[in-house]
A and B are shown apart, each in its own frame.
Chain A
């Protein structure tokens, strides 16, 4: 018996015997803690997209947690075991940092098997056919507010980022007629990692004289007219313009602190 099966069996046994922790809800097995919000996937139920579904991912647990009104209860997808289970919504606890845990007394009700087809997982819950598949690419001009609104993963990462206050102050005070045009790909993992940081900087600089524009590219993007026009060779690429003239680009090494890179570029531009 594998370690994972032992964990699940133990969990189910404990669940059947009743809550182990009395009234105080305790996190279950460490494997089922810290599910992170993700915007990389979309839920499709009965052929219809469910954009409001909340999807959480745990790499360590090899599991996805789906919370949507399309199903009577949350759905836990065990990617490794290729099984699907449901559980009581009251046994899902959201933490202050936006991650969620499954409580120790949660009962997992087996709901069927997971079928894997290329880049998506398919299953049935409550008689409904469902699939989790990659979110379609966002292409063309985008606004930061729309990107944040549409992607839980972006929102979560942006919320965890704390831009340098001094750099933000300098940008608020010194930026005039500045435009930051960022090329990105929703398919690019490095954009998923870094773009939310710039989105958070934009949110912090809402009152500054800096306009942030975003442009989603396909993969590959070498033939895309805007990418060619701006000489984009990799994503994310942020072009910084002052008075319509390009004064610099955030270097790859600057994406972990985009506010510092932006401040330095604008300082250099005088």
Chain B
């Protein structure tokens, strides 16, 4: 009895185990989704993101908006590629560099804060660093959200092939869509979506800081918790503030119903200078930047309050102020 020789099996490198591939795929998917969600949220308000990039000193000479769009493109492309399981050595190298960069930024802030060197909220100088999460918490959150996914993504990397070109095209295409959306976002009516201020929000829920340092708008401006108010968040140093103040003064002098209130992040002494220079007939309140910044994309921004509840918001001053300023 003869045994017919079987054809030799093709020789190839051993592939990743199925378990390692699943774990790696899951890690990549998780990290990719985290990056995509983060990019989408930042794309709603690229101007603020750009400000943060410049403030961190990592804009590399780019204007804030350009830096924001470039960062969004990179983050989205890497996130989408990970979701699409494009876990090549080069891509994971880029993802590792990106995660390391994020950790460097949050780690630097945590280090500075631990030594009392982190920037405090300027405002009137009354407050310390009012933040929704401390630099230490931010570092821990970044470590939890980014590092495990990244580490796992290196496991069981897929081999070459499998429509990689199409998937890369999809990742790049999504990045372009996000960049295009971010570029258009400032002109889109997304303020209520992109900020913490929208109809239904209450003034006692507009807060900043943690623990004993936590301050809320109803504490800083108790009058807003009762009655009806037109409120404007404004930049008192902006060139257009004098004209806005004149309109607000005219509103008050004309009877001012509902009364107008301006919330602004003022430097020490600025309110006293404004007292003489623009002679506000409206209530001008100093509110720390940490509390105000999450409430707008561009200034001025107006909202209507009834008994401490936001009923309407406007991109710009309230339309009820329309009219000729008195002076």
Contacts and interface: CB of A to CB of B under 8 A. Distances in A.
A62 interface: yes
A219 interface: yes
Given A79-B276, A116-B277, A252-B209, A190 B220 contact: yes
Nearest to A238: B212
Contact of A251 (B125, B212, B254, B286): B212
Contacts of B276: 79, 116, 119-121
Interface in B92-136: 116, 120, 124-130
Given A80-B281, A185-B125, A234 B219 contact: no
Nearest to B130: A234
A234 B282 CA distance: 26
B253 interface: yes
Given A2-B326, A253-B215, A219 B281 contact: no
Contacts of B273: 118-119
A190 B124 contact: yes
Nearest to A248: B212
Contact of A235 (B126, B212, B220): B126
Interface in B279-327: 279-283, 285-286, 326-327
Secondary structure class of chain A's binding surface, majority of residues: loop
B257 interface: no
A219 B130 CA distance: 17
Contacts of A234: 126-128, 130, 209, 213, 215
Nearest to B214: A252
B212 A252 contact: yes
A150 to B, nearest CB: 18
B281 A59 contact: yes
Interface stretch (B77-85, B150-158, B183-191, B264-272): B264-272
Contact of A185 (B126, B220, B269, B275): B126
Contact of B129 (A31, A80, A187, A233): A233
Contact of B282 (A40, A59, A120): A59
B86 interface: no
Contact of B126 (A61, A118, A190, A251): A190
B251 to A, nearest CB: 11
Contacts of A188: 124-126
A134 B249 CA distance: 23
Interface in B248-268: 249-250, 252-254, 268
Interface string A118-160: 1111000000000000100000000000000000000000000
Given A79-B275, A116-B277, A119-B276, A256 B222 contact: yes
A105 B275 CA distance: 28
A251 B214 contact: yes
Contact of B283 (A40, A59, A119): A59
Given A3-B254, A190-B126, A252 B269 contact: no
A150 B299 CA distance: 39
A80 B124 contact: no
Given A59-B281, A134-B269, A187-B125, A4 B213 contact: no
B216 interface: yes
Contact of B253 (A4, A237, A253): A4
B127 to A, nearest CB: 4
B281 A62 contact: yes
Contacts of A47: none
A225 to B, nearest CB: 13
Interface in A36-93: 40, 59-62, 79-80
A249 B269 CA distance: 28
B327 A80 contact: yes
Contacts of B130: 234
A13 interface: no
Interface in A180-206: 185, 187-191
Contacts of A256: 219, 222
A251 B216 CA distance: 11
B125 A62 contact: no
B326 A3 contact: yes
Given A119-B272, A189-B126, 9 more contacts: A4-B253, A62-B279, A119-B275, A187-B268, A190-B286, A219-B124, A233-B120, A233-B213, A234-B126
21 contacts: A3-B326, A4-B326, A60-B281, A61-B281, A62-B249, A79-B275, A79-B276, A80-B281, A80-B327, A121-B276, A185-B125, A185-B126, A187-B268, A188-B125, A189-B126, A219-B125, A220-B125, A234-B127, A234-B213, A251-B212, A252-B212
Query: Sorted from nearest, which 9 A-B pairs have the closest CB atoms?
Result: A233-B128, A79-B279, A219-B125, A119-B272, A80-B279, A188-B126, A252-B215, A2-B326, A116-B276
